[in-house]
Structure 1
């Protein structure tokens, strides 16, 4: 009689058996089940076509939406529409995966019941952590703090939160769902299914920064966040915990504290002036670099704390 470990990969195509080592940390045992839908049609050429197609869809979405947008609308409206535009990217992704892998949406997320449970638990845990952390972030800059009109903020709170949920879900289905599954079908080594999608996720944030140094900080931070979400996905076998962590982070970044002129600042309740330009124009490049490195270290600690809170919430 075969052992459970041997039976778990019995449907694995013969050409892949030698590339998928049986050794996998116990904490990641759920990854075997999570990657199973990807074993049916695993070819890397299919993955490459999906990546190309998704990037084309992502790049063309703004041009598709542009004729329907009035750029004189309030920032809150434009920001909400920007997040909601990820719905087109998600639709394109699902069509590509259906055509190239013959897979439906449910195969990308893991079981729906555990997904909702883990999403709720992690979202609450991460929000509680950020509720404690944010006042400390604001303390040195309280004199410069600007409070957005409360009526305006409450008006857009629910539509913006739903649009951000759509954005986060799209990214998690793509990076931690599809790519993690397909790469885990090739190899169960962490540098394949965790590192590669996380670096890809990080580089997609390069343009968020003002200049190369700040863009690199965004990329490294996003790669760390991606690795944390991939770890949670492998521990649970569904996208719930990853969506919860990502959603909690993005809700606070977009709806609570923003910097004037930074991406997504139009929805924030509290606003601070962006000091990066002031530092650079003063000719203090060394100080700017030091500040960037400090911000990166601080952001890394923030990701670590959110990840630990998520693990406690899912008891993993």
Structure 2
């Protein structure tokens, strides 16, 4: 089992990358990323325009006022759903610039779904074990977030929103960028590390994390490498999306730091992201959990 668990047989990755090989010029990737960014920037104001038509003036103003802190569940939902623009932009780029179908960014949809299901089950079992095993309380003690009734009311749209957000990020970084680089370069150091570094830098937020900002970048980069490994091992985006999805459910819907992006959480840590000492103390635990979930996902994919 250990030999299978730590196998780095990436033969399935060749099938995943195959649709990108015909038009794998670097200029297409660079232009594609620029076009995707332009589409997102052009469409974002349209989203706000749409909300202004379907919402009351008071509700729209409340969202607008909260759009820097995301303390309201509604504004957090809008942010997460807005990642659908990433899906639309990348799909458009693939169709227009690479002349291939958007579903090729995922791999075989049937296999991706089955692999994702196995990984989600494995990660839920790991989470259940962590709840059952000691220690039986969080240190420092958690504080309540949303009431359970209100949290349950938001749960279904929040799960859909988190899925849209996590799948969009995986489609961009592990789908489009990883595929295009792997179609051009054989070295895993290029097609694993480059998208992961970009993913990490996308999480650079010194205004939120202070001196921990680069530690968060390192955390996200390592997460990106592990997601790239799952993608190369499985030949689809299913496992990476599943790992990302379960991780973000825990971080956004179950327990979140107080303050920014805490609007949908059932519980809060007794500190916010700007508490540098508290966040720094939590990061090693997050790193350990990330490795455990990656190993559990790999175990679910053994063959």
Partner of 1:151: 149
Which of 152, 168, 171 matches 1:173? 171
Query: After the TM superposition, which parts of structure 1 deviate over 6 Å for at least 4 consecutive aligned residues?
Result: none
Q: CA-atom RMSD, angstroms?
A: 2.3
Partner of 1:103: 100
Partner of 1:28: 10
Matches within 5 A, 1:150-229: 150-207=148-205, 210-229=208-227
Aligned residue pairs, count? 280
TM-score, normalised on structure 1?
0.81
Residue 62 of structure 2 aligns to a residue in which SS? coil
Residue 141 of structure 1 aligns to a residue in which SS? coil
1:43 aligns with 2:41: no
Unmatched segments (≥5 aa) in structure 2: 1-6, 53-59, 64-70
Residue 152 of structure 2 aligns to a residue in which SS? helix
For the residues of structure 1 that align with 2:239 and 2:164, how far apart are their CA atoms? Answer: 15
Matches within 5 A, 1:1-316: 27-67=9-49, 68=51, 70-73=60-63, 75-133=72-130, 139-142=138-141, 144-207=142-205, 210-263=208-261, 265-274=262-271, 277=274, 288=277, 293-315=280-302
Q: CA deviation at 1:208?
A: 7.5
Residue 273 of structure 1 aligns to a residue in which SS? strand
Q: Is the Cα contact below 8 Å between 2:212 and 2:280 reproduced in 1?
A: no
Q: Is the Cα contact below 8 Å between 1:71 and 1:78 reproduced in 2?
A: no
Partner of 2:66: none
Q: Is the Cα contact below 8 Å between 1:209 and 1:218 reproduced in 2?
A: no
Q: Given the superposition, is the C-alpha separation of residues 303 and 71 from structure 1 closer, same or farther in structure 2, using an over 3 Å criterion?
A: farther
**Structure showing greater relative contact order (alpha-carbon pairs closer than 8 Å, 6 or more residues apart):** 2
Q: Given the superposition, is the C-alpha separation of residues 199 and 163 from structure 1 closer, same or farther in structure 2, using an over 3 Å criterion?
A: same
Q: Given the superposition, is the C-alpha separation of residues 216 and 63 from structure 1 closer, same or farther in structure 2, using an over 3 Å criterion?
A: farther
Partner of 1:16: none
Q: Given the superposition, is the C-alpha separation of residues 222 and 61 from structure 1 closer, same or farther in structure 2, using an over 3 Å criterion?
A: farther
Q: Is the Cα contact below 8 Å between 1:254 and 1:268 reproduced in 2?
A: yes
Residue 36 of structure 2 aligns to a residue in which SS? helix
Q: Given the superposition, is the C-alpha separation of residues 66 and 30 from structure 1 closer, same or farther in structure 2, using an over 3 Å criterion?
A: same
Q: Is the Cα contact below 8 Å between 2:10 and 2:232 reproduced in 1?
A: yes
Q: CA deviation at 1:127?
A: 2.8
For the residues of structure 2 that align with 1:100 and 1:267, how far apart are their CA atoms? Answer: 38
Q: Given the superposition, is the C-alpha separation of residues 207 and 133 from structure 1 closer, same or farther in structure 2, using an over 3 Å criterion?
A: farther
Q: CA deviation at 1:26?
A: 6.0
For the residues of structure 2 that align with 1:61 and 1:208, how far apart are their CA atoms? Answer: 27
For the residues of structure 2 that align with 1:102 and 1:138, how far apart are their CA atoms? Answer: 53
Higher Rg: 1
Residue 113 of structure 1 aligns to a residue in which SS? helix
TM-score, normalised on structure 2?
0.85
Q: CA deviation at 1:170?
A: 1.0
